[in-house]
Amino acid sequence: MIGIYDSGIGGITVLASLLKELPNEEYFYVADYQNAPYGDKTKDALEKIVTKNMDIFMQKRCKAIVIACNTAGTLKDTIRKKYDIPIIVIEPAIKMAYDRHKEKKTLILTTPYTAQSKSFHHLYKKYEMKDCKIFACKDLATLIEEGNEKKIKKYVKKLFLPYQDVEQVILGCTHYPLIQRQMKEILPQVMFYDGGLGTAKQTKRILARKKLLSTSKIGTIHFFFTDQKDRTEKFQKVLDDYTNHGQL
C-alpha cells in the first residue's frame, strides 16, 4: 500500500496522476482536517503534525509515502531522517518552468508557510529566473476547501490584478490546480505548472528501482480523515472531475 498525504483535498491533484502512472497500486490517503490549514502554522507545530501523520502510515505498514502537500514537503529532510522507507515529496514545479521558459515573466503561488521556508528558497535560488515573483496566498487553500465559486473568483481576480503581464504561473500548493479554470478565466494566455505528474513519475521510478511495484491487477483507494468526519464521496467526486477535466 502507498500512503499519500495532504492537509485536505489538495492531494487529490497528485493522486489523479498517481492513478495514471500506477493504476494497480493500493492507496491510503490521509487528509489531515484536524490540523488544516497547514499554510499558517509555525515550523514546530508543523513538524509535530507531520510526524503524527507519518506514524499512521507506519502503523498501516505502507511500502512508500507520497507527501502530496508542498507545505509539509518543506520538512522533507527532517522526515526522511526519521523514517526508513521511500518518501516521495512534491515540490513547486520551478524546475519545469525554468527548463521550458526561464526567460518568461513568472509568478509562483504558495502557502504563507512555504513562501518563507528554507527549502523553498533553496529551490528558488537553484532555478533562478530573470523575472520571477513569489506570492503567498493567505487563506486560499481554505477557500478551495469551502468551494464557494463566487468567493474563489473574487480572490483570484484580486490576486492577479498586479500581475496582468505574467506569462507563466507555478502552482506551489496542491490545492491550487483545483481552481485552474477560475485562474484561466482571468489569465487565459498563461501557462500553469504543477508538480503532480512529476511526483507520480518519480514515485514510479523509485518503486521500480526498489522492486516494490504492485503485481496485482486492480488498484484501490482508502480515504482517512483525521477529524473522523467521512468525506469519501466528495473526495471520489473531486478525483473523478479532476481526472476527467483537469480541474473542477
Q: Is 16 in the site for ligand DGL (CB under 6 A)?
A: no
Of 22 and 49, CB closest to ligand DGL? 49
- Considering only the stretches 43-51, 151-159, 167-175, 213-221, report the one whose residues sit in contact with ligand DGL under the rule CB under 6 A: 167-175
Please tell me which residue in 62, 132, 137, 173 is annotated as part of the active site. Answer: 173
Is 62 among the catalytic positions? no
SS3 content of the chain, % helix, strand, coil (to 5): 50, 15, 35
CA distances from 27 to 5, 38, 57, 218 (A): 10, 22, 11, 11
Residue with cell string 530573470: 130
| Beta-sheet strands, E only, within 125-218 | 132-136, 168-171, 191-193
The dihedrals phi and psi of 222, each to the nearest 5 degrees, come to: -115, 135
Q: Is 175 in the site for ligand DGL (CB under 6 A)?
A: yes
- Quote the CA–CA distance of 122 and 190 in Å, as a whole number: 25
Provide the minimum distance between the beta carbon of 117 and ligand DGL in the complex, in angstroms, as a whole number: 10
Q: Is 25 in the site for ligand DGL (CB under 6 A)?
A: no
Q: Is 71 in the site for ligand DGL (CB under 6 A)?
A: yes
- Considering only the stretches 18-26, 31-39, 59-67, 202-210, report the one whose residues sit in contact with ligand DGL under the rule CB under 6 A: 31-39
Q: Which of 15, 25, 31, 37 binds ligand DGL (CB under 6 A)?
A: 37
| Triad 242, 245, 248: Cα angle to 5° | 55
Q: Is 69 in the site for ligand DGL (CB under 6 A)?
A: yes
* CA dihedral angle for residue 71, residue 226, residue 206, residue 69, rounded to 10 degrees: -20
Q: Which of 2, 4, 5, 10 binds ligand DGL (CB under 6 A)?
A: 10
- What region does 51 belong to: left with phi over 0, alpha with psi -120 to 50, or beta? alpha
Q: Which of 2, 3, 5, 6 binds ligand DGL (CB under 6 A)?
A: 6
Q: Which of 62, 109, 115, 141 binds ligand DGL (CB under 6 A)?
A: 141
CA distances from 114 to 43, 100, 101, 138, 189 (A): 10, 23, 23, 11, 26
Is 69 among the catalytic positions? yes
Catalytic residues: 69, 173
List contacts with ligand DGL (CB under 6 A): 6-7, 10, 36-39, 69-71, 111, 114, 141, 173-175
